[in-house]
Every structure is written in structure tokens, then in C-alpha cells.
Structure 1
Amino acid sequence: MRCAITSRAGQVIAYGRLLIQSTDEGQLRLDLQTDGGRYLEGGIIPQDGDLSEASQNLFRKFFDVWGMSDLTLTITMR
């Protein structure tokens, strides 16, 4: 899925795509790959498929990388 990460002021910080990757242990993880080449590993997706915790872990990585909180992830389906 294509996505954009925007600041609270509406400035696009990065464009990229969300991915579900398999770990070496066979678990699924929610990740983000930006068009600029950054790869951010998010959280593990539990068996019930709830993305809440996995996306929270990914958003914590946003702060580590861009040093901002209150970023918005917008998904575009085409």
C-alpha cells in the first residue's frame, strides 16, 4: 500500500509503502519502506491480525527517525 507521512503542519515528510514481512521466527511484522530508501521495522502482528500494537511500534520508529511526534500516516489505495 502506498502511503505518505505528514507533519502536524501538513508537510509531507516521506512517501513510501507499508509492507507485511515474515520474520526468521515465522511471525508477521508491519514495516515501512520510504521512497528515499529508509526501512523501518514495526511491530509483530498477532495471530488475530489486530494491527494496533504493530502500528504503535512503527509510529515510535517515526519519532526515532524524524524526531517529531504527532505525525500522520495516510494510505492511498489505487
Structure 2
Amino acid sequence: MRCAISSRAGQVLARGRLILHKGDEGELRLHLQTDGGKLIEGGIIDSDGDMTSASEELFRQFLEVWGMSDLTLTVTVR
């Protein structure tokens, strides 16, 4: 899935793709790999497939990386 991270003003901060990564204990994590090569690690996906907590952790990491909240993640599926 291709995606873009935008500020509340509409400026695109990064483009990349969402990926799933299997951890050492078999858990799946939601990450963002930017086109610039940066890997932003999100949280663990629940065993029932719910990505709510995983995406909340990913957005907390966005705050750490870009120093701002209220970012928008736009996903394009082709």
C-alpha cells in the first residue's frame, strides 16, 4: 500500500508504504517505510487483526519524528 503523511496545513512530509513485520515472538507489527529509507515502527497488531492500537503507536512515532500531531495518513491501494 502506498501512503503519504501530511501536516494539518496539507504539506506532504513523507511518502512511503505500510508494511507488516513479523517480530521475534511471531507478533505482527505495523510499520511505515518511507521512500527516503526511514523505517518508522508502529505497534503490535491484535490477534484478531484489529490495527487500532498498532496505528495509534505508529502515530505516536510520527510525533517523535516530525514533532507535530494532527497528521493525516492517506493510503492508496492500487
> How far apart, CA to CA, are the structure 2 residues paired with 1:13 and 1:69?
12
The yes-or-no answer on 1:24 pairing with 2:24 is yes
Match of residue 47 from structure 2: 47
CA offsets per residue over residues 6-60 of structure 1, 9 Å max, x none?
0000000000000011001110000000001110110001111100000000000
1:61 alignment counterpart: 61
After superposition, the CA RMSD in angstroms is 0.5
Alpha-carbon distance in structure 1 between the residues aligned to 2:24 and 2:33: 19
Matched AA of 2:42: G
TM-score using structure 1 length:
0.98
Q: Which runs of 5+ in 2 are unaligned?
A: none
TM-score norm. by structure 2 comes to 0.98
Structure 1 stretches of at least 4 aligned residues deviating more than 3 Å after TM superposition: none
Secondary structure at the counterpart of residue 32 of structure 2: strand
Residue 62 of structure 1 aligns to a residue whose secondary structure is helix
Q: Aligned pairs, how many?
A: 78
Amino acid at match of 2:29: R
CA drift of 1:2 comes to: 0.3
Q: Match of 1:73?
A: 73
Quick one: which amino acid aligns to residue 18 of structure 1?
A: L
| Structure 1, unpaired ranges of 5+ | none
